[in-house]
Structure 1
Amino acid sequence: MASARRLVIGIGNPLRGDDGVGGLLAEQVGGRSVQQLTPELAAELAELEAVLFIDAWLAPAGAGPELIAIAPANGATGSSTESHRLEPAQLLAISQALYGRAPALHLLRVPATAFGHGTVLSPELQAALPAARALLGQWLGGHA
């Protein structure tokens, strides 16, 4: 789901089992998929009002999907060894620092258990998909 003011971005590798759930859910609502967050996304974020990132989460047993509001990280822009990979709060901080604005940002974390090679989602993740889709629908409804 993308418009001039909001965007859904799925994060993860679709060839690593459950890690591909972000892209799967984002693409189902017209959003897009990236394998990782990079500084280049900051310019695009600065033009938006709201962004939802969807990502697989190595959660404790029994955990369900979570929708979390994200605030900019205070001056954090990644370590020198991993400056090409960012967390959502770091990307938000870069957008704010470089462009003077950042969107409202939420993260939908979907519990995942299997990250091996392949495109098949684990039974545990498949069981969590209805709850994840419900949270995605809530976010979309709140940002229509």
Structure 2
Amino acid sequence: MSGRVVVIGVGNPLRGDDGVGPAAVEGLRGRVPDGTVLTVSDGEPARMLDLWDGADTVVVVEALRAGLARPGRLHTLTAADAASRTAGTASTHALGLGASLALAEALDRLPPTLVVHAVEAADVELGAHLSEPVRSALPELIDRVAASVRQAHGRDGEQ
């Protein structure tokens, strides 16, 4: 195993709460071990697979839409949980993480470890800023992602 850890902030900063993934990645700079790849994506499945290619651990950060949403509520999901929870309309993106995971599974390109840290969105309108509940949840979201990255680096160091 390479020990490569990739953090992908999924979203569009010009669409309100959909920008929480990129905002979290920005907040991680200087807070994660050297060698951690910090990147952003619009969530298009083929690009997602390219971003995590060769990684042992992938941490995805994004906004979710839920039926009975509680904006700002945080979730930590496994790949299997994310595939079922982000199917259909749960993601804020046209295709969403569920499509990326399905494609990766079909092509045998799922990383050995994939964790999703997500926050429930309130507003994803074009031109909006992060809503107050999501902005308030951002520090804890960044802390959770940083902890996942440190854990991944520790696990890789033990191998």
Q: 2:16·2:125 contact (CA, 8 Å) conserved in 1?
A: yes
Percent identity of equivalent pairs = 29
In the alignment, what sits opposite 2:16? Answer: 17
Structure 1 residue ranges without an equivalent (≥5):
80-84
1:95 aligned onto 2:104: yes
1 or 2, which has the higher helix percentage? 2
How many residues in Structure 1 have an aligned counterpart in Structure 2?
134
Structure 2 residue ranges without an equivalent (≥5):
30-37, 89-93, 154-159
In the superposition, the TM-score normalised over structure 1's length comes to 0.74
Q: Distance in 1 between matches of 2:128 and 2:57?
A: 29
What's the C-alpha RMSD, in Å, of the aligned pairs? 3.0
Q: 2:62·2:118 contact (CA, 8 Å) conserved in 1?
A: yes
Q: Distance in 2 between matches of 1:119 and 1:36?
A: 19
Q: Distance in 2 between matches of 1:41 and 1:17?
A: 21
Q: 1:17·1:122 contact (CA, 8 Å) conserved in 2?
A: yes
In the superposition, the TM-score normalised over structure 2's length comes to 0.68
Q: Which has the higher contact order (CA 8 A, sep 6+)?
A: 2
Q: Distance in 1 between matches of 2:131 and 2:72?
A: 15
In the alignment, what sits opposite 1:47? Answer: 54
Q: Distance in 1 between matches of 2:11 and 2:51?
A: 19
